[in-house]
Structure formats: structure tokens, C-alpha cells
């Protein structure tokens, strides 16, 4: 069976299975004090599942002990429920139009053979990652810490594609659209824009992820990659690039994915702050992959804490770990910084638990600008639940 035919069949079967029973491959269990379902979608291991239409799948915490997130463990976030179940790579085209000298229709084969091929290792993170940690509850999907992942992306520089088309003098904005659609005709389509001035050589149109074709649920056959930025701008199943002179007013630019435009990017549930600004680059963050909440370890045993840290591309300088509720901190060992400034930086920290009962392990990352993760109680609230980066905490049981 051809890959695209397999996907067509299994996507439909998986969607039909959701919400039926455990015999359909669905399990429900508590994870970080949340009761969630785990479902195995096509090309994926069982992942924490919030919805099947559109697919909303979270990577388990245990995956974040390594610098690269495997494709079958990588989180999934779609906005629109109507996702094509069949795409023919032989006929697929990406269109470049608008304020260009030559409108183009580029096939996948042309993209892979007629342009310089480049790779970038970068973190993809939803702006609402860790939203469930906000107190009080913020609106939106109550993600844990797994709406993120790091992959090696291969494709073509967006700048090279635009140079092939030739930008006209008054070109200032680039709009991106994919193949997913709303179920209701009045629902705004998912289109994102960026200023041409924001382009650099790391922004690519990718067709590979970790050495394989993009997984279907991660945007096959093409997706935009904007390292250092939150994933709302990484348009999946990219089908159209339109160049304009003026900013186009769009729901997913002007209403969604915005935070208060003040120094703390914060407000209160009772008083919304205006004006707002879009979320763009990521802040510094770390996540502990092992141990997890509830892990049992022996008293005075050798425990190795493992996790990952990242920021928007300035680079991670240190990760500090505390086992005494933040009274003291010790430096973790960082893996060599070989994957580039946009990638996960894996860390490890060894200790021997000297007390019985519950022990909280805390990790905080510090980047090369000196910015560090704050304590959870110092995180300021916003109604969208965006950009949470409080010090990560897991609680283990020493026996």
C-alpha cells in the first residue's frame, strides 16, 4: 500500500475510533494530576489526546530527556477540523503570488532539485504550552508541558523562493496559507503574515523532519519553519505564499495569539488590558523529562535528572537544579551545543536523595542574555494563557 493511501485509510479509521472504548486503543489515565486519554494516531505512538477533530496531541513528559524529539512522539496542533486525507506528492504545488515579478507554481520535486537544500534544528512550541499551570485557569486547551518538540528540519530557504519569484518594490508583507479548512463557512481561515524584514536564512519551507518526510499530522508535505518563534506562525500543509504591500487584517493575527502590550504582558481576569500585541519569539524555558511526578526512587540511590532547555535563539548558558524547594541551586551538566542556537539543550544532574517521602525537583534555565525562568508564583496572568515559562517542578517519592 502506498504511503498516501495508507494515511488516507488510517486517518479515517483513527477518527472513527476516538471516543469509543478502550478496545479501540484508547486509554485514560492521570498525568500530572490531569485525567487524559492516550490515542495512537497514524505515524504516532499513543499521545496525550485532547481532540481528534482537529487533532490536538501532546508529547508525554518522558520524551524530554533527549535533544531531538522523534517524529512519532512529536506533538500535534491544528486549528481547523477539515484536513485533507489524501495528498498526491506528484501533483502537489505551492503557489507564490501577489507583488512578485513572476508568479510561481513549484512542485515538490522542483523544490528538492532546483534550490539549495538546507537544514536547521529548531524547537517548535505552541504559544499555549503549559497553559494548565496558570492560576486561575486561562482559556484554551489545557496543555501540560508537552506542546513542544525539537526536530531537524530540511527544506529550502524562504528567501531563495522569493528571490526566484522576484519581489516588487513595494512588497512588505508575506502571507501564508495551508490546506486545512473550517467546518463552518463563517469561521476565519487560518492565515498568518510576517514582514519581509523579519526574514533571515533560518526561515525555511521544510519537507523533511528528522530525515523523513514530514508526518502527515505535522504538516505533510510542506510546512513553514520560523526558528525561535512560537508555532502559531509555522503554517502546515503550506499551499500558498502571497506577497502584499499592506498588512492584511486577519483573525489569527489581530485577535488570537495576542498578549497585553505592557511590560509584564499581563492583566487580571476582571480587567482586560488594551492594547495587545502578538506573541512572537519564545522565552527561556526548561522541562524535566525524568523523573516524572510520582516516580518512586530508593533512599540514597543514584538519581539522574534529565531534561531539555531552550529559548528564542540566544542560547542556553546554564540550567540550575534544586532539590530543597529552591533554597539552594546547583549547576546541571549541559550537552555540547552542537545542534545550533534554536535547538533543545539537553541537561543532566545527579544526586542521592537523603530524605524519605515526597521530594520536589526544580529546574530553571538561564540564557546568554541572563534571562531566567521565574518561580510559578511570579508568573503574571494573561487571558490567553500564553508564554508560560515558570520553573519546572516534579515531585518524586523516596522510599
- Torsion sign (Cα): 44, 77, 317, 295: negative
* 82 and 223 share one domain: yes
User: Could you tell me if residue 263 is inside a domain?
Assistant: no
* 340 and 388 share one domain: yes
* 137 and 38 share one domain: yes
* 46 and 115 share one domain: yes
pLDDT tens per residue across span 178-196: 998 776 666 666 678 889 9
Residue 110 CB contacts under 8 Å (≥ 6 apart), including other chains: none
* 175 and 59 share one domain: yes
The residue with cell 534544586 is 322
User: Could you tell me if residue 270 is inside a domain?
Assistant: no
Name the pLDDT band for 117 (thresholds 50, 70, 90): very high
pLDDT at residue 97 in the model = 96
**For the domain that residue 328 is a member of, what is the CATH number?**
2.60.40.650
| pLDDT over 50 at 8, yes or no | yes
Ramachandran category for residue 30: left, alpha or beta (phi over 0 → left; psi -120 to 50 → alpha): beta
**Stronger pLDDT, 248 or 207, i.e. the higher one:** 207
Model pTM score: 0.91
Residue 1: other Cβ atoms inside 10 A: 9
3-class secondary structure, 14: helix
Overall average pLDDT of the 51-78 stretch: 96
Which of 210, 240, 211, 238 minimizes the C-alpha distance to 222?
238
pLDDT at residue 305 in the model = 98
pLDDT at residue 5 in the model = 54
| CA atoms lying within 13 Å on the CB side of residue 358 | 7
* 91 and 177 share one domain: yes
pLDDT at residue 147 in the model = 98
Average pLDDT across the chain, whole number: 90
pLDDT at residue 20 in the model = 35
User: Could you tell me if residue 367 is inside a domain?
Assistant: yes
Residue 104: other Cβ atoms inside 10 A: 17
| pLDDT over 80 at 14, yes or no | no
* 145 and 23 share one domain: yes
User: Could you tell me if residue 303 is inside a domain?
Assistant: yes
Backbone angles phi, psi at 5, to 5 degrees: -70, -40
* 38 and 175 share one domain: yes
DSSP 82: B
**For the domain that residue 118 is a member of, what is the CATH number?**
3.90.420.10
User: Could you tell me if residue 262 is inside a domain?
Assistant: no
Q: How far is Cα 348 from Cα 335, in angstroms, rounded to an integer?
A: 8
User: Could you tell me if residue 315 is inside a domain?
Assistant: yes
pLDDT tens per residue across span 329-345: 999 999 999 999 999 99
pLDDT at residue 4 in the model = 52
User: Could you tell me if residue 267 is inside a domain?
Assistant: no
pLDDT tens per residue across span 229-240: 999 889 999 999
**Stronger pLDDT, 252 or 297, i.e. the higher one:** 297
**Pairing mode, strands 392-398 and 296-297:** parallel
* 41 and 173 share one domain: yes
* 233 and 290 share one domain: no
Percentage with pLDDT > 70 across the chain: 87
Return the C-alpha torsion angle 201, 176, 310, 362, nearest 10: 180
The count of structural domains within the chain is 2
* 32 and 85 share one domain: yes
Domain stop point among 241, 256, 271: 256
Domain stop point among 256, 272, 298: 256
pLDDT at residue 253 in the model = 67
* 215 and 112 share one domain: yes
Q: What residue numbers bound the domain in which 175 lies?
A: 1-256
pLDDT tens per residue across span 154-170: 999 999 999 999 999 99
Amino acid at each position: 500500500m502506498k504511503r498516501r493511501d495508507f494515511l488516507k485509510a488510517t486517518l479515517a479509521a483513527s477518527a472513527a475510533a476516538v471516543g469509543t472504548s478502550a478496545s479501540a486503543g484508547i486509554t485514560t489515565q492521570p498525568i500530572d494530576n490531569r485525567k487524559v486519554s492516550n490515542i495512537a494516531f497514524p505515524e504516532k505512538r499513543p499521545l496525550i489526546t485532547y481532540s481528534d477533530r482537529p487533532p490536538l496531541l501532546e508529547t508525554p513528559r518522558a520524551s524530554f530527556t533527549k535533544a531531538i524529539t522523534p517524529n512519532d512522539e512529536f506533538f500535534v496542533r491544528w486549528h481547523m477540523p477539515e484536513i485533507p486525507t489524501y495528498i498526491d506528492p506528484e501533483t502537489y504545488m505551492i503557489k507564490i503570488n501577489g507583488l512578485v515579478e513572476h508568479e510561481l507554481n513549484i512542485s515538490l520535486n522542483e523544490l528538492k532539485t532546483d534550490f539549495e537544500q538546507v537544514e536547521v534544528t529548531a524547537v517548535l512550541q505552541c504559544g499555549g504550552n503549559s497553559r494548565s499551570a496558570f492560576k486561575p485557569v486561562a482559556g484554551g486547551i489545557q496543555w501540560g508541558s508537552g506542546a513542544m518538540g525539537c526536530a531537524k528540519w530540511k527544506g529550502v530557504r524562504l528567501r531563495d523562493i522569493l528571490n526566484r519569484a522576484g519581489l516588487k518594490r513595494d512588497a512588505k508583507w508575506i502571507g501564508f496559507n495551508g490546506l486545512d479548512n473550517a467546518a463552518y463557512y463563517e469561521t476565519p481561515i487560518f492565515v498568518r503574515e510576517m514582514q519581509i524584514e523579519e526574514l533571515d536564512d533560518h526561515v525555511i519551507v521544510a519537507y523533511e523532519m528528522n530525515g523523513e518526510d514530514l508526518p502527515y499530522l505535522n504538516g505533510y508535505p510542506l510546512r513553514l519553519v520560523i526558528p525561535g518563534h512560537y508555532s502559531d506562525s509555522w503554517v502546515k500543509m503550506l499551499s500558498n505564499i502571497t506577497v502584499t504591500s499592506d498588512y492584511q487584517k486577519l483573525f489569527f493575527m489581530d485577535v488570537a495569539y495576542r498578549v497585553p502590550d505592557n511590560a509584564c504582558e499581563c492583566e487580571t481576569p476582571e480587567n482586560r488590558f488594551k492594547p495587545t500585541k502578538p506573541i512572537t519569539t519564545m522565552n527561556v524555558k526548561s522541562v524535566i523529562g525524568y523523573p516524572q511526578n510520582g516516580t518512586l526512587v530508593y533512599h540514597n540511590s543514584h538519581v539522574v535528572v534529565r531534561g531539555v532547555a531552550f529559548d528564542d535563539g540566544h542560547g542556553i548558558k546554564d540550567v540550575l537544579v534544586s532539590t530543597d524547594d529552591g533554597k539552594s541551586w546547583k549547576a546541571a551538566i549541559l550537552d555540547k551545543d552542537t545542534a545550533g542556537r534554536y535547538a533543545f539543550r539537553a541537561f543532566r544532574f545527579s544526586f542521592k536523595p537523603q530524605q524519605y517521602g515526597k521530594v520536589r525537583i526544580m529546574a530553571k534555565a538561564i540564557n546568554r542574555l541572563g534571562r531566567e525562568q521565574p518561580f510559578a508564583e511570579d508568573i503574571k496572568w494573561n487571558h490567553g494563557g500564553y508564554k508560560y515559562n515558570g520553573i519546572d517542578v516534579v515531585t518524586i517519592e523516596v522510599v
